[in-house]
Amino acid sequence: MKTLRLLRFIHLAVLAEALIFFGVVLYLKKDAPFVWINEDQPALFTTGILAAIVSVMCAFIVPRIMLKRVRLKGSKEKQMQSYITMSIIRMAFFDVAMTLCIVFFLLGECWIFALVLVLIAFIFVGHFPTQSQITREIEFDEVDFSEDEFNAT
């Protein structure tokens, strides 16, 4: 099983999707005047910021809840399959938050959403899948994995 390679590929694909979508939105709105905060539509601003914050919070809370179940699985293979699912859900919550920022940037023409997008993207990059992250979250011993699991060519 190429768990680490799969998670890294998905992670980079989610990040690339958000950056490409943001680039397309910037190109479409290249002539539009942007403001930091659109005071004409405070409900749009509040809704966008709250939705992005709730999505990021879910990216931290939901995987923690799921990790308890992952650790209870009997075999290493079942734990890894459950961990893959949990990691993809975490990435999906980050993707939702980034996409919401881009959509609200498009609708509200506020730079604050681009700033929040960059902040979320940095947090997302910080969650790049590594062997130590997987062993720490599942609470495996380092000797539980063969080198082929993480370093297969």
What 3-state DSSP class applies to 65?
A: helix
Asked if residue 109 lies in contact with residue 38, where contact means CB atoms within 8 angstroms, the answer is yes
Hey, is 41 helix, strand or coil?
coil
Q: Which residues pair with 88 in a beta bridge?
A: none
Residues 23-55 have pLDDT tens digits of 999 898 888 777 777 777 778 888 888 898 999
> To 10 degrees, the CA torsion angle through 23, 25, 26, 27?
90
Provide the pLDDT confidence category of residue 150 given band limits of 50, 70 and 90. low
Write the burial class of residue 133 (CB in 10 Å: 0-12 exposed, 13-18 middle, 19+ buried). middle
> For the whole model, what pTM was predicted?
0.81
